[in-house]
Amino acid sequence: YSGCGKSLVVSISPTTDSIMDCNVGGYFGPFLKFAGFDAIEIQGKAEKDVIVVVDGTKGTVRIEEAPEEAVDSHVLAEQLTEMYADDENDKRNVAVVSSGKAAEYALIGMLNFSWYDVRRKTCRLKQAGRGGIGTVFRNKKIKALVAKSSGVKGDMNHVADMEAIRERGRNFTREMRELDDSQSRMRKVGTAHLVEIMNDYDLLPTCNFKFGSHPEAKKIDSKALEPKFTKGLPDGCWLGCTMSCCKAVDGFELKTGPYKGQKVIVDGPEYETIGGLGSNSGIFDPDHVIECNFYCDTYGIDTISFGTSTAFAMECFENGILNEERTGGLKFNFGNSDAVMEALHQMARGEGFGVVLGSGVRKMKEKFVKEYGADPKFLQDIGMENKGLEYSQYVSKESLAQQGGFAMTNKGPQHDEAWLIFMDMVNKQIPTFEDKAEALHYFPMFRTWFGLMGLCKLPWNDVEPANNEETDEPAKVPEHVDNYVTIFNAVTGKSIDKYELIRQSERVYNFQRIFNLRKGFGKRENDAQPYRAAGPVTVEEYESRKDRYDKQMKEIIGVDPEGKTTEEKIAITRKYRENVYEKLLDAVYKRRGWTKKGIPTIEHLKELGMDLPELIEVVKPHLEK
């Protein structure tokens, strides 16, 4: 079945100081499983750079010193694949996890998971991006993890009912073949198809989330990028995935940095990368997006956090909080792609303003207030982070449910947990607080389940059965939900239903919430959002959408905007929207079985079978206050 080769990486994040998890493709997870391990836990810290090798062909796990090998991922993956493969044909059986130079100096480091593309005869990379997991990896002096397999055969994990899986797989493959071209075009452009859709609905982040669209967005949308993507090659990040959405630009000649002049393969760019490195930074040059994508990947930097941090710094520059003296000579205004690339290369060298940028939005806010006298309220309003994690690339101003989907997460504002903009804003499927609360219960739980099972979310709803709109709950894509229930039962031999699927995630989700509580987080105040996620902060923002905001003020808030200054209208809008968000918090907490302070109740933990003494001990003092 498509999308069954994912891994889940979990760590304490250096940017949030709480649990971070990332769902990632590539071959490492399956190869680790075939070697006999469900998980690998790495404790402690090495004195020198090491490689951890899980060799399924010999049944061994080794820790080897690695003084000579490269650090940057696109080089290291090739070196280690060559080193641990027996011959050219065996390269397909080696997978590498690595980070990069910049992760040693930045808090927003990520991990690359490789696989050997036998058609291209080179290594490809997928990313576990969020929350600084790559920073933790390099801080432990791990240069790479390597998994080696003896080869992939049809039933290496000895499933209980192979025919049931094959049947659902055949059905999904038929849907991709017959429906993908008229729906999301994942096989042709991957997630890049979202750029023009988000721009059309005023949801594409532009200039640090101030705006949701731009006339030049067409320069970086899927129509502009499709000619650059290599055609005619299967682009799945695990064997047998017919969604084949892992696009790549082959033979891209780099214009900057230590690899200038070299022709490389660039994985992506995907939607989040295009939004972050492109429109949100006010840059509409596809070659810049591709080049910056490449260097973020090989340096081990999360493109989402880098893009949002860059956009924040650019707005600070344009407001005089930063200047050329403070950026080391960089003119860090919106649209300056040269300055962005120089800052990224500085980050990899551990130099200059690049290190400041690599600390992320929350640390930059603290620095700019303390050292430059910036207004903390203004920075809180425009600094697009929650819990220390930078926002992913969707404008949530007109979707209350998506505001909750970002800020009410355990780990911070990451789209993979709850993407509700279209249900809420476009299709109007969840009009009441109770409807939104139900969506903010179900979808985060269902999406969490994919990570727990090593599955990809995209085959769930990026292609839908032809009759999906005729079902009772089209947003859930019930036929595909049934696919996953069937596959779980067919793999494990168990017999769960779609409700137990959600409860499996609820147990983990509540455990994470309580873990955060033990760390000093996990309460209502930690689910607060920067105001720009909810509404216009500046006069420029309000006036750019004046007709919309004035109409809402009159028809929804019940205040006549006539004769009021823009500043007065911003204040009225803000008071209303902040109050509505607080009501949403109440509704969501009630649905999740939490108190109004966001604390899981003992009764709810008992219902889930999670009333463990260690958890009750953490929760109880907060319930007694």
How many whole angstroms separate alpha carbon 591 and alpha carbon 408? 13
Superfamily per CATH, domain 7-148: Aldehyde ferredoxin oxidoreductase, N-terminal domain (3.60.9.10)
- For 125, phi and psi rounded to 5 degrees? -135, 140
C-alpha torsion 615→621→623→625, nearest 10: -170
What sign does the CA torsion over 577, 583, 584, 585 have? positive
How many whole angstroms separate alpha carbon 227 and alpha carbon 127? 23
**Residue 608, exposed/middle/buried by CB under 10 A (0-12, 13-18, 19+)?**
middle
How many whole angstroms separate alpha carbon 393 and alpha carbon 401? 16
Closest CA to 465 of 479, 481, 486, 447: 479
Q: Where are the alpha helices (DSSP H) in 21-145?
A: 28-34, 73-84, 133-139
**Check whether domain 400-529+590-624 has CATH 3.40.1710.10, yes or no:** no
pLDDT number for residue 416:
82
With b for 16 or more beta-carbon neighbours within 10 A and e for fewer, the 203-217 pattern comes to bbbbbbbbbbbbeeb
Token digits of residue 184: 């999301």
pLDDT number for residue 485:
96
pLDDT number for residue 67:
82
Would the pTM count as exceeding 0.85? yes
Length of the chain: 625
Q: 455: left (phi > 0), else alpha (psi -120 to 50), else beta?
A: beta
pLDDT number for residue 235:
87
How many whole angstroms separate alpha carbon 245 and alpha carbon 267? 11
DSSP run (H or E) holding 70: none
Could you state, in order of their start, the residue ranges of all structural domains in the chain? 7-148, 400-529+590-624
Q: Where are the alpha helices (DSSP H) in 35-105?
A: 73-84
**Residue 90, exposed/middle/buried by CB under 10 A (0-12, 13-18, 19+)?**
middle
Eight-class DSSP state of 144: E
pLDDT number for residue 417:
82
Token digits of residue 230: 């290599």
pLDDT tens digits, one per residue of 170-206: 999 999 999 999 999 999 999 999 999 999 999 999 9
pLDDT number for residue 408:
96
pLDDT number for residue 156:
86
CA atoms within 13 A on the CB side of 503: 12
- For 196, phi and psi rounded to 5 degrees? -70, -30
pLDDT number for residue 625:
64
Low-confidence ranges of the chain (pLDDT < 50): none
How many whole angstroms separate alpha carbon 329 and alpha carbon 317? 12
pLDDT number for residue 233:
83
> Residue 622: CB partners within 8 Å, gap ≥ 6?
517, 523, 595, 597, 599
Radius of gyration of the chain (CA): 24
